[in-house]
Amino acid sequence: MFGFPAPTPYDLNFRLLGIPVRVNPFFWALAAFLGWTGRTGLEIVIWIACVFVSILVHEFGHGLTARSAFRQNPSVLLYYMGGLCYYDGDQRHPWRRALVLIMGPGAGFLLFGLTLALGVGVLGVGEFWPFGLIRVHDVPSWFFQLPEGISRSILAAYSDLLLINLFWGLFNLLPIYPLDGGQLAHVFLTMRDRRKGPVICHVLGMVTAGLLAAYLFSVHEQFNALLFMSFAFLNFQLFQVARYQESSLSRYDEEDDWWRK
């Protein structure tokens, strides 16, 4: 359902810690769109930079773990659906796959903690950090007093990094395929039952995404509601595939790459 973008002449390509990274130009457009409301000028640039750093850290959590846990050669793509870490080699150990999946959000939570520690210990904005989770742009300037020498731009970056790495990390752990939480559900449910596990996984994804879409429509968050509707439809399609595979699977084959199904 979600296409894998081909390389373009406008991609940003570089290597970091030995891992190749490709940034599709639509990634920047997505980041700007997500931060457009309530921000102007420099604040939008700061938001885009924070999105870039945060998603890159998330994908490197996957990539570095995959490289160390089962000797994969990962690559990272940032594109219009966010980020993707992929590799060519096969991996037949579900617990290692689960570790790779959890370390994406885990890296983001680590960045959240480091940002919070920096704000409290170095910048001296400890009394402000809960409002960083709301967003600095929504807090009136008269409501708090900035520490001497700390600009509102620095506080905006601090606020954006907290918001992205906490709430986006929690969002990614929802049991909705293909989010990390949905892929973790697929791993554990398939370990428990080779036939019914994938079916249950995609039913769970359909129900969770559908309920969230309905709620978001009710509070007039149309963009996010449409996103969850697309996840619900994707899981419906995968549910149909899983039901066919459940009926046609004659035996459990330990050599199957079952996490690709």
pLDDT digits (tens, 9 = 90+) for 88-137: 765 567 888 899 999 999 999 999 999 888 877 776 665 555 554 545 44
- What is the share, in percent, of the chain residues with pLDDT greater than 90? 48
- In whole angstroms, give the CA distance from residue 31 to residue 90: 32
Please say if the pLDDT value at position 76 is more than 70: yes
Per the prediction, the chain carries an average pLDDT of: 83
Residue 165 · residue 177 · CB < 8 Å: no
CA atoms within 13 A on the CB side of 89: 14
- In whole angstroms, give the CA distance from residue 44 to residue 141: 18
Which residues contact residue 44 at a Cβ distance below 8 angstroms, ignoring those fewer than 6 apart? Answer: 32, 35, 36
Over residues 197-203, mean pLDDT: 92
pLDDT digits (tens, 9 = 90+) for 209-232: 999 999 999 998 888 899 999 999
